[in-house]
Chains A and B, each alone.
Chain A
Amino acid sequence: MTLLAEQLLNGLQLGVMLFLLAAGLTLVFGIMGLINLAHGSLYMVGAFASAWVQQRTGSFALAVLAGLAAAGGTGIAVEALVLRRLYAREHMDQVLATFGLIMFFNELMAILFGRQPLMASIPGFLSGSVELIPGVPYPVFRLAIILVGVAVAIGLYYLISHTRIGMLVRAGATHRDMVRALGVDIVLLYTFVFGLGAVLAGFAGLLTGPLLSVQVGMGDRILITTFVVIVIGGVGSVRGALVGAMLVGMVDTLTRAFLPGMLRGVMPASSADALGAGLSSMAIFILMAIVLLVRPRGLFPAHG
């Protein structure tokens, strides 16, 4: 029972992380029609910048600022220099160009910081654990991530549904030319949305730093999981990204934790462990397949 509670919180925390990444990616695809494989690179840039500044200064606040600024700045530069030329092109061109960006950023990080993983540490005031549920001590830092994710979700909801920028983002997703013909500089809007997505990706990266190691290529694997999230949620929908991220976070965490144990009841332990590990790493893709069978455009298709 205590293990289940702990794993549920872990699932929630992974879901929050995935939401931070998926929110930006789904907005960029939804309103600009751009497939950006380099989104994971922004996550990596945020993690590296933050870990490096933390090692140099020892300040967590400065590290957070550095991570957000580096990811946001990199995102805006990439949008202006590379991606802006790709909006009108085919998806295959976008995939090729942004795949190139992944390799560029992986190499750049290796040149700047080396191949050895950087270690980021949990700041003093967020270390240790608390017993939210009696008998289940849980790390404060992971709880903080969950709270931050909830706050970001609320903030994004407000931005998208209650501000004029949000209205323009939604309007631009269906009638891009019409938004322009009513006097809105869509280039500025795109830069803003892309920069926001980059900052959120960098945020996810710097929060991950103290939990996993910060290393070259760390964005590549999570990118695939993030795409699973936005496909499940419905491309272009922030609400879909939230629900998709929670589903994927839970399914991934719970199957990894419990599937081998459950299989041990029906087969020898060694086969159960091997099959359980294999099945649980496939679980989110099986989930995606099931969702697409029932709802081919995802759970919350953005364009009605």
Chain B
Amino acid sequence: MLRIEGLQAAYGHSQVLFGLDLHIGEGQLVTLLGRNGMGKTTTIRTVMGLLPPRAGRVAFAGADITGMAPERVARRGIGLVPEGRMVFPTLTVRENLIATAANRLRRPDAWTLDRIYSLFPQLASRTQQRAGTLSGGEQQMLAIGRALMTNPRLVILDEATEGLAPLIRDEIWHCIAALKAAGQAILIVDKNLAALKRLADRHFIVEKGRTVWQGSSAELDAAPNLAHRYLGV
């Protein structure tokens, strides 16, 4: 459903992506792995239209979305959970969830506030609280809920569990597994290789702005030097 080919992008004069390739099938959970500064977040920003591509192609759900404006990319069905969560701090939890909610693809089993609250019970007790006052873990749950409320075909999670306490991480992983089991396609960036290997259908390793390896979890396990060489673990 998402296919990225030879993507190049730059911040001003400093080029970050030099030819990134990645593809995700319906209902798949795919990871983008690599050390910091290798271009993972830049890839996501470029796919979302937040950064203009220099070259290459991004296709999503049968259409070319290369260089499209962010709102048009989102309207085609990509739900972003960005690095740093970026919840709207001056809005309440409930407002964060409904402000941008939509069901543009007319999904029959659309997400509702109640379904989000049962996925994240912690949010249910804080509906009228300003999002800026939530803990990091709660903000991440809110950011995921906010993306789900747009009823996306594909959810992109950048740094899904970064900076969260171990218990909260487990909760986020549990939720991601549930989403995958329900058939939600997910592209995820994270450092927790063990959890990712358990959940992912496919991994893509990025090094200096290029895709240098791709394969399944079993293939990743079969080549331990890969993780050492490209991920520093």
* Residues of chain A whose beta carbon lies under 8 Å from any beta carbon of chain B: 164, 167-168, 170-171, 173-175, 177-186, 302-304
Contacts and interface: CB of A to CB of B under 8 A. Distances in A.
Contacts of B137: none
B95 interface: yes
A178 B142 CA distance: 14
A181 B89 contact: no
B91 A170 contact: yes
B99 A171 contact: yes
Contacts, number: 70
Contacts of B49: 181
B50 A177 contact: yes
Given A171-B88, A174-B90, A177-B50, A182 B147 contact: yes
Contacts of B150: 182-183
28 contacts: A167-B98, A170-B88, A170-B90, A170-B91, A170-B95, A171-B90, A171-B91, A174-B90, A177-B50, A177-B70, A178-B88, A179-B88, A180-B70, A180-B71, A181-B49, A181-B50, A181-B70, A181-B73, A181-B80, A182-B74, A182-B79, A182-B146, A182-B150, A183-B71, A183-B150, A184-B100, A186-B71, A303-B90
Given A171-B90, A181-B50, A181-B74, 4 more contacts: A164-B98, A182-B146, A183-B75, A183-B150
Contacts of B104: 183
A177 B86 CA distance: 10
B48 interface: yes
Contacts of B102: 183
Q: Which of B95, B100, B146, B150 has the most CB of A within 10 A?
A: B100
A182 B147 CA distance: 7
A304 B89 contact: yes
A175 B86 contact: yes
Given A167-B91, A174-B88, A181 B82 contact: yes
Contacts of A180: 50, 69-71, 74
Contacts of A304: 89-90, 132
Please indicate which of the listed interface residues A170, A173, A181, A186 has the most CB atoms of chain B within 10 Å of its own CB.
Answer: A181
Interface string B50-90: 10000000000000000001110111000110100010111
A180 B71 CA distance: 5
Nearest to B50: A177
Nearest to A168: B99
Contacts of A303: 90
Nearest to A171: B88
A178 B71 contact: no
B88 A175 contact: yes
Given A181-B50, A304-B132, A173 B71 contact: no
Nearest to B99: A167
Nearest to B147: A182
Given A171-B99, A178-B82, A184 B89 contact: no
Contact of B99 (A164, A185, A186): A164
Contacts of B75: 183
Nearest to A162: B95
Interface in B132-164: 132, 146-147, 150
A177 to B, nearest CB: 6
B1 to A, nearest CB: 17
* Most central of B74, B96, B99 by chain A CB within 10 Å: B99
A180 B75 CA distance: 10
A179 B50 CA distance: 11
A240 to B, nearest CB: 13
